[in-house]
Amino acid sequence: MAEQSGRCLCGAVRWRYDGPHLRNLICHCESCQRATSAPFTAFVGMDPAHLHWQGEVTHFESSPGNWRGFCPACGTRLYYRSRHWPDEVHVHAATLDDRDAYRPDAQVLCAERMGWPDHMHELPCHDGFGQPPAGSQR
């Protein structure tokens, strides 16, 4: 497997991985939705023995036995870890340096899935903010 790397938004935290992917999942649980402020999150299950961090990571126990790591400088969510999978770290796929290389294998906790993303393909798609936000004075 080729080495992979990633970083937070500000670059204060970087990671490098040289092991096999254990999972490539999209999670729809409410906990991930609230933790990431997004309708779902995509992650790569990694063996912690092959995952190397550079920089300070702050850890938050979001529920008993479940931790979320993030950059204390910019707030980027970096990973999820649980006592249920002690030999895995679920690194957020959006932190990959090569984000287009990510290919999820499955979706989980679909009963908690939000419905509105199902209609995104119907919305106009722009390369920038062509119009001011609704209610704006511009």
pTM for the whole structure: 0.83
For residue 124, report the phi and psi dihedrals to the nearest 5 degrees.
Answer: -60, 145
What CATH number has the domain bearing residue 60? 2.170.150.70
The verdict on residue 31 lying in a domain is: yes
51-54: strand order across its sheet = 4-7, 14-17, 51-54
pLDDT tens digit sequence for 50-84: 999 999 999 999 899 999 999 999 999 999 999 99
Q: How many domains does the chain have?
A: 1
Structural domain that includes position 11: 4-114
Q: CB-based burial of residue 41 (10 Å sphere; 0-12 exposed, 13-18 middle, 19+ buried)?
A: buried
* 79 within a domain of the structure (yes/no): yes
**AA identity, residue 133:** P
The per-residue pLDDT for range 78-124, each reduced to its tens digit, is 999 999 999 999 999 999 999 998 999 999 888 988 888 888 888 88
User: Does 46 fall in a domain?
Assistant: yes
Residue 103 lies in a domain: yes
Residue 122 belongs to some domain of the structure: no
* Residue at 130 is within a domain: no
Q: Is residue 129 part of a domain?
A: no
Is there a domain that residue 22 lies in? yes
